[in-house]
A and B are shown apart, each in its own frame.
Chain A
């Protein structure tokens, strides 16, 4: 209870802090590019349906990309962590592919996967999946020898071992990899949504920029931030439920 109060307190503090900085910026800059916070929020509320629709498109792309990354990244990361040959086959590829800025491949993805949602999803996927593979592999490699020995002496079979030993030991690293990569993925999506689509929060923001509708543009930015907050809170929530021991 006390913890919850403290958490809500922190969030409120964050919100007020940002509003304050925003207000100061508005006062100092005195340009239409930075509209006043309350005007923006009121615009956001009044045009909620529109902003929300664009947000839902972006959210859908991100969620599909995260799910695909987990579905493919976790097993591959496990192969890398558990099997020696898996590590020697996959790690060199991952290490080379990981630092390449994937956004540069957007044109390639658009040619290969069309102009629709798929190319945007593939773009985000290509950003998140390597991070997840590395996180899972490192999580497995960090399991102490005694833990392996005691699970062996308790007579755990392979499935029990994956469920009770491997999975919980990779979860914290997995979630922090996800946190790191989602920030990058959201900015990539923002860029990707400026091509060949009229839906998505990235499109909404840039389009209103072109139309010199700064109020709408800022409402879009507020929406994008809220979506980021939502995804991050989701990860926090999973962590607080499934990683109790890390507290």
Chain B
């Protein structure tokens, strides 16, 4: 659904992305992992259309061309609007699409129920916890039913259990909706749990692509194959940083 060819990007003189080649296929998940500053966020912004690239190609092939927001992004620090309640944050995208009021309310109620944030719907972002903030940000993006969901280190600031609950939730939603997902993470476990394709990035290049067939397997985290994959990704990461 998205093909990136020979794409480069720089901030001034500093080359941040260097000849990226990448295919995102329909209904797949892709994890991007790599050391801090290697250009993960930048790549995601380019895919989201928030940054213009200088060189290369980015080609979309999407069925519902008419759909207003084909891609949705969840930012590294969520970017919730401080002056809107959780509910109104989630609502905004739909309101500006001029949908009928009842339809908007119904979708918003459903997604809040789903993400278990109905009780905090009237709170402002500064009044809720990091995990709740993240779920609000996920809700704000998912309510627009994007075909490609982009997530930037969504759960890095959360405790281990909250992190896993959110991973489970994201996986569940992914499996039931026809959606593709690209997410940036610093956690090897998260990459292996959610990523059917795992991209190892370093200094603006994609150094390695690892396939991971077991996403969605029951009790995945307790399987030996999970740990094997984790070790594979870890050694790939170490291989890169050691040279």
Interface residues, chain A, CB within 8 Å of chain B? 144, 146-147, 149-157, 160, 164-165, 168-169, 171, 243-245
Seed contacts A150-B81, A164-B84; 12 additional CB < 8 Å A-B pairs: A149-B73, A150-B80, A152-B50, A153-B50, A153-B69, A154-B69, A155-B68, A155-B93, A164-B92, A164-B96, A171-B83, A245-B124
Q: Are A245 and B72 in contact (CB under 8 A)?
A: no
**Contacts A154-B140, A156-B96, A245-B126; is A149 near B83 (CB within 8 Å)?**
no
A154 with B50: in contact, given A147-B79, A165-B81 (CB under 8 Å)? Answer: no
- Cβ–Cβ < 8 Å partners of A157 in chain B: 96
Complex Cα distance, B125 from A165, in Å, reads 15
**Closest beta carbon of chain A to B21's beta carbon, Å:** 24
Contact B48 A244 (CB under 8 A): no
**Could you tell me the distance in whole angstroms from the C-beta of A152 to the nearest C-beta in chain B?**
6
Contact yes or no, B81 A164, CB < 8 A: yes
A149 touches B75 (CB 8 A): yes
Question: Are A147 and B81 interface neighbours, CB within 8 A?
Answer: yes
21 A-B residue pairs with Cβ-Cβ distance under 8 Å, sorted by A, are A146-B75, A146-B78, A147-B81, A149-B79, A150-B75, A150-B81, A152-B50, A153-B48, A153-B69, A153-B72, A154-B93, A154-B96, A154-B144, A156-B96, A157-B96, A168-B81, A168-B83, A168-B84, A169-B83, A171-B83, A244-B124
Find the B residue at minimum CB distance from A165: B81
Which listed residue, A146, A160, A171, A243, touches B79 by the CB 8 Å rule? Answer: A146
Q: Are B96 and A160 in contact (CB under 8 A)?
A: yes
Q: Report the interface size for chain B: residues with CB under 8 A from the other chain.
A: 29
Does chain A have a CB within 8 A of B97? yes
The reply to whether the CB of B82 lies closer than 8 angstroms to some CB of chain A is yes
B77 located at the interface, meaning its Cβ lies under 8 Å from any Cβ of chain A in the complex = yes
Q: Are A150 and B79 in contact (CB under 8 A)?
A: yes
Which residues of chain A are within 8 angstroms of B68 by Cβ–Cβ distance?
155
Q: A residues within 8 A CB of B48?
A: 153
- Enumerate the 7 nearest inter-chain pairs by beta-carbon distance, A residue then B residue, closest first: A146-B79, A150-B79, A168-B83, A154-B93, A245-B124, A160-B96, A245-B83
Considering the chains assembled together, what is the distance between the CA atoms of A102 and B205 in angstroms? 60
**How distant is B196 from chain A, measured CB to nearest CB, in Å?**
24
List the interface of chain B (C-beta within 8 A of A): 45, 48-50, 68-69, 71-73, 75-84, 92-93, 96-97, 124-126, 140-141, 144
Is A154 touching B83 in the complex (CB atoms < 8 A)? no
CB-defined contacts of B71 to chain A, threshold 8 Å: 153
Distance, CA A160 to CA B94, complexed state (A): 12
A136 smallest CB distance to B (angstroms) = 15
Given contacts A245-B82, A245-B126, contact A153 B73 (CB under 8 A): yes
> Which of chain B's residues have a CB closer than 8 A to the CB of A245?
82-84, 124-126
Bound complex: CA A152 to CA B96 (Å): 12
Within the complex, the shortest CB–CB distance from A247 to chain B, in Å, comes to 8
- List chain B residues, Cβ under 8 A from A156: 92, 96
* A155 partner residues in chain B, CB cutoff 8 A: 68-69, 93, 96-97
B77's nearest neighbour on chain A, judged by CB, is A146
Chain A residues near B82: list those with CB within 8 A: 147, 245
Residues in chain B near residue A168, CB distance under 8 A: 81, 83-84
Residues of chain B lying within 8 A (CB to CB) of residue A144: 79
A156 to B95, CA, bound (A): 10
Beta-carbon nearest neighbor of B127 in chain A: A245
Q: How far is the CA of A168 from the CA of B125 in the complex (A)?
A: 15
What is the CA–CA distance of A164 and B94 in the complex, to the nearest angstrom? 13
Closest to B146 in A: A153
